[in-house]
Amino acid sequence: MATLSDRVAHWIRPEVRALTAYHVPDPGDAIKLDAMENPYGWDEALMSEWLAALRQVSINRYPDPGARALKRRLREAMRIPAGMDVLLGNGSDELIQMLALAVSGAGRSVLAPEPTFVMYRLIAQVAGMDYVGVPLARENFSLDLDAMLAAVEAHRPALIFLAYPNNPTGNLFDAEAVRRIIEAAPGLVVVDEAYAAFARDTFMEALTAHDNLLLLRTVSKMGLAGLRLGLLVGRSEWLAEIDKTRLPYNVNTLTQASADFALQHRAVLDAQTARIRADREALFDALRRMDGIEPFPSEANFILFRTPEGQADRIFAGLLERGVLIKNLNPAGGLLADCLRVTVGTPAENRAFLDALKDAVGGAVPGL
């Protein structure tokens, strides 16, 4: 009789057993600045209106599988060019998974610069694909265009992911370099604009110029992370095929109704994201003035910063002791050694973070 662990080892695919599950820490009572959430809620009047809208939902019925009303709203809110199709996912994470499922096969690969959003690698591995990471430039995390083009030529990837702005580095890649990669790619290029609400550029208009370009957006970072709604935009020739990997009714009724409602009140979300952009600049300046801290310019709602060599884990732990949870990227190593990432919170949360950081750095580096 085989033991339980023998059976698990026999039946679970080796590439799945080799994975480390995506770890989400329990924030407890800490100020939560680890996950790029919008810190602002809605006022009472808006809450009541939202709950009234939810009363109209027929919870006993399956959702509209095509989510037609919501798609119309998203087309308008996100200025999706006429002629481009839209596919919805349970978060953009699900769309990344659908993309991988649609193209996976023996010898097929996913390519992305490194460091970037970890789900590209994780999902490629779950789908049984090879993953090729091409290092970004060390000084400023810009694309190494020559290395990217050489890797595209060598690996002929089915999928290339470019997060624009990039997570966890926060910068926008050079748009001309991105265009060169799209033109050189034999397969699909997905420009992931999860942080579009905080950035000064987009590839939305460029969709019409490139028939192998798809655009990924999400409502998560603009203030609706709890809804789980992402969208993939591009030509129907691609999306009709990718749609076949989607489970029916993947975007539930409450999400459809709530997103539709929220987008009708987009001015509220826009004011919140404008506020976050302004506070990001104040936070960046404060970090730059701090001894031993090197923040990197950001076009997103978070800031990556480097801490004195060998101190990141202690500073991260010191922040948590002082009630502030951010993201420790030091364990990822490579270009992210000594780096931490903080999400822009409310002014009071940012203040609390800066105070805690000052204490934690002082404690970690005698003499600072």
Ligand X SMILES: *Cc1c(COP(=O)(O)O)cnc(C)c1O
Interface positions, 136-175, toward ligand X (CB under 6 A)? 163, 167
Rule CB under 6 A: say whether 93 interacts with ligand X: yes
The tokens describing 136, both together, are 């970004």
Instruction: CB nearer to ligand X: give 103 or 194.
Output: 194
Give the span between the Cα atoms of 296 and 306, in whole angstroms: 8
Stretch that binds ligand X, among 91-99, 101-109, 259-267, 312-320 (CB under 6 A): 91-99
Cβ atoms of 342 and 328 closer than 8 Å:
no
Closest approach of Cβ 301 to ligand X, in Å?
A: 10
By CB under 6 A, is residue 92 in contact with ligand X?
yes
Nearer to ligand X, 230 or 295 (CB): 230
**Residue 338 in contact with ligand X, rule: CB under 6 A:** no
The answer to whether residue 307 forms part of the interface with ligand X (CB under 6 A) is no
Q: Could you say whether residue 85 binds ligand X (CB under 6 A)?
A: no
Of the ranges 128-136, 146-154, 217-225, 277-285, which one interacts with ligand X (CB under 6 A)? 217-225
Q: How far is the CB of 290 from ligand X (least distance, A)?
A: 25
Residue by residue, DSSP assigns 277-320 as HHHHHHHHHHHHTSTT-EE---SSSEEEEE-STT-HHHHHHHHH
C-alpha 303/C-alpha 293 separation (Å) is 12
Kindly tell me which residue out of 230, 234, 295, 345 binds ligand X, with binding defined by CB under 6 A: 230
Q: How far is the CB of 281 from ligand X (least distance, A)?
A: 20
Q: Which residues contact 93 (CB under 8 A, 6 or more apart)?
A: 119, 123, 230
Compute φ and ψ for 360, nearest 5 degrees. -65, -40
Contacts for 339 with CB less than 8 Å, ≥ 6 apart = 168, 304, 305, 306, 307, 312, 329, 330
Q: Which residue is nearest to ligand X (CB)?
A: 91
